[in-house]
Amino acid sequence: MKYESTLAQISTQQIISMFDLLSDVIFWIKDEAGRVIHCNKEFVEHVGRKSINQVLGHSDLDFSPSYLAKNFMLDDQKVMAGEIITDRLELNIGKSGELAWFTTSKRPLKNPSGEIIGTYGIARNLKETVKTLSGMEKIKRPVEYIKNNYSQDIAIEQLAEVANLSVSALERRFRKYLKKTPMQFLREIRLENSRRMLVETQMPISEIAYLNGFASHSYFSRHFKKMFGQLPASYRSEIQANL
């Protein structure tokens, strides 16, 4: 068919260069060792470099603090094993150097034979995502409220009141713009901050759970493993062994 013939003439380079048109999306491709083999302009700016040549061949350890880099690299290893990550909240460094929340998706990179030879992914600054997708205070306000108060008890009714919406309307908007419910968003914020504290501090795991709004250690551990593939103690041991 004609469209198949046209598609066959499009090079891979042309396709991936299209990501340069997306000013709010960070895009990268890494080899099996976690080295960047391609990225878009937004990625270059995100890591504070001036050209793609200053990025190619380097890993997360060259761009991010070690505790963040180790998190990213551990995730990449899991993706290399076939896991997929979709719209997960995680901490990263913003352009101005501050810690910021990003939504990240990663996939295994396969050759024509189906063998996994690397990873690729995209990330978007959550603040910019909300601004771009909604342009509405009714999604921005509950997002900011969660980011500023995630360590406290938060009920869905509180978030609905902050947004001046009904609970059902609030949940519809979160699913539309962030692909998750308000309470899933809250839990992911808590889990990602817990992951950071497991690496940055020597606090007992039960205390980290409590400080991030989890009422019980078992509930925290169960959801931590569901999100990151490991129990908190195992995650801390593996990361610290490689620091």
Q: Please report the pLDDT score of residue 135 as a whole number.
A: 45
3-state secondary structure 14-32: HHHHHHHHCCCCEEEEEEC
Residue 101 near residue 144 (C-beta atoms within 8 A):
no
Say if pTM beats, i.e. exceeds, 0.85: no
The CATH homologous superfamily of the domain defined by 2-126: PAS domain (3.30.450.20)
Q: Could you state, in order of their start, the residue ranges of all structural domains in the chain?
A: 2-126, 134-242
Q: pLDDT of 193-215, one tens digit each?
A: 999 899 889 999 999 999 999 98
Please name which of 32, 31, 49 lies closest in space to residue 40, comparing C-alpha atoms: 49
Q: Please report the pLDDT score of residue 105 as a whole number.
A: 94
CATH code of domain 134-242: 1.10.10.60
Using CA atoms, how far apart are residues 240 and 23, in angstroms rounded to an integer? Answer: 35
Within the chain, which residues score under 50 in pLDDT? 1, 3, 7, 135
Q: What angle do CA 176, 177, 181 make, to 5 degrees?
A: 70
